[in-house]
Amino acid sequence: MSSLNLDDFTDLIERPDGGVRRDAEARRERQIVPPGALGRLDDLGEWLAAAQSAVPVRPIERPRMVLFAGDHGVAALDVSARPAGSATRLVRAVLEGTGPASILARQLNVPVRVVDMALDCDPGELPADVVRHRVRRGSGRIDVEDALTQEEAEAAFRAGVAIADEEADSGTDLVVLGDVSVGGTTPAAVLIAALCGTDSSVVTGRGGLAIDDLAWMRKCAAIRDALRRARPVLGDQLQLLAAVGGADLAAMTGFLLQCAVRKTPVILDGVVSAACALVGQRIAFRAPDWWLAGQSSGEPAQAKALDRLALEPLLDQGVSVGEGTGALLALPLVRAAAALAAELPEKPAEATEATEATEATEKG
C-alpha cells in the first residue's frame, strides 16, 4: 500500500501572500512612473512581492534551471523528428554547454541542473549526479501499454519532490523548468486532452522540430489510442501519470507541487511542463499561483493547458526547441520587473497628497 497521499498537497500549499500584494500595489501607486505605464511588469513585480512576502520585492539572485530528462517508448512510432531513444545526445549537449538552453543560461549566469529520470542509455554514460534519481530505462509505449508501473510513478514523483526540497534548501529563489526528451510532447498532449476533455486532433502539434504531415497523423493516432487508456484513470492522478505519462513527467509534477509547498516560484517552458502543471492543478488547486508561463511555444496542447490554468505567457516567440529555452528567455523580464518594483523612487509626499486631494475632489 502506498504511503503517498496526494491530497496532502491541498492542505500544504498556500496562496502567495495577498496582504503583501496589496502593500506592493499601494507602493506602486506612490512611485514616480504612473501605475499601468509599465504594463505587465507591474503585475509581475506585485506577484513576486507576494511570492517572496516582501515589499519592496527582492532581486532574483539565485535562479536555477532544472531540466528533467527521459525517453518515451511512443517515439518508436516515428511521432518525433528525432530518433527514438536519442535524448541522451541532447543531455550531453546541455552538459557540454553547446545546447541552446546552455548557451542562454551561460549568458544569463544561471546554473543548469539535469535530472535523468528515464533516459534510454547505460547510466554509466552520464555523471553520477545526473542519473542518481533514474527510475527506469525509457518509458513504455503509451498507446498500448503503461508508461510506468504504479511503483515507478510513485518513485519518480517522490524524486521530483526531493529535488524541489534540495533546491529550496540550497537557496534557489526562482526555478526555470524544462524537459529534455524525445517523444515527450505526445504524452503531454494526452494528459492535456484527458484533463480538458477534448480529442486528439485538438491537441496534436508538430513537436520541437516540426514533423511532417504523415508523422503528425501517426502522432494523432497514438494520442487517440493513449486517450482511451487515460480516461478510465482520470480520478487518480498518480495512476494517470503511470498509464500515459512517463518518469520525467511524474517527477516534474511532484517537483512543481513541492515548489509551491516551499514557496519557490517557477517559470514553465513548453507543452511538457504545462501538462505537468495541469496535473498539479488537479491535485492542488492553489498550486498554479506559484507558477508563471514563460512563453508560448505554438503547440496547441500548451495553449489549451495554459487557458485552463489561467496563465498568460510572458513571451510569444514561437520557441519550440524545449530544454527550458523559452522559459529562460522570460527570466530577464521577471528580473526587470523585480528591479523596477524595488528601485523606482516614490513621488514626494506633497505630490502624493495633492494627487489624493484632487481624486477626492473629483469623487465629491
Residue 218 has pLDDT above 70, yes or no: yes
Same domain? For 238 and 276 the reply is yes
275 and 236 fall within a common domain: yes
pLDDT at 334: 96
Taking the CA atoms of the chain, what radius of gyration do you get in angstroms? 21
Which of 199, 214, 87, 190 is closest to 141 using CA atoms? 190
Element of type H or E holding 245: none
What is the predicted pLDDT for the residue at 361? 60
- Domain for residue 327, yes or no? yes
Residues of the domain holding 274: 63-333
Within-domain flag for 29: yes
> For 209-228, what is the mean pLDDT?
90
Give the separation between CA 22 and CA 79, rounded to whole angstroms. Answer: 48
Q: Residue 258 is part of a domain; what is its CATH number?
A: 3.40.50.10210
Same domain? For 173 and 309 the reply is yes
Q: How many angstroms separate the CA atoms of 148 and 363, rounded?
A: 63
Choose the catalytic residue: 46, 152, 299, 323. 323
323 is catalytic: yes
Is the same domain home to 44 and 79? no
Task: Give me the mean pLDDT over the 121-144 stretch.
Answer: 96
Q: How far, in Å, CA of 247 to CA of 137, rounded?
A: 10
Write the CATH number for 54.
1.10.1610.10
Q: Do 83 and 171 reside in the same domain of the chain?
A: yes
pLDDT of residue 322: 85
Distance in angstroms (rounded) separating the CA atoms of residues 171 and 35: 32
CB 193 within 8 A of CB 251: no
The domain tally of the chain equals 2
Helix (H/G/I), strand (E/B), else coil: 268: strand
Q: Is the pLDDT of residue 355 over 60?
A: no
Give yes or no for residue 362 having a pLDDT over 80.
no
Whether the pLDDT of residue 1 is over 50: the answer is no
pLDDT of 79-96, one tens digit each? Answer: 888 889 899 999 999 999
Give the Cα separation of 46 and 60 in Å (integer): 14
Q: Are residues 190 and 211 in the same domain?
A: yes
> Is 1 domain-assigned?
no
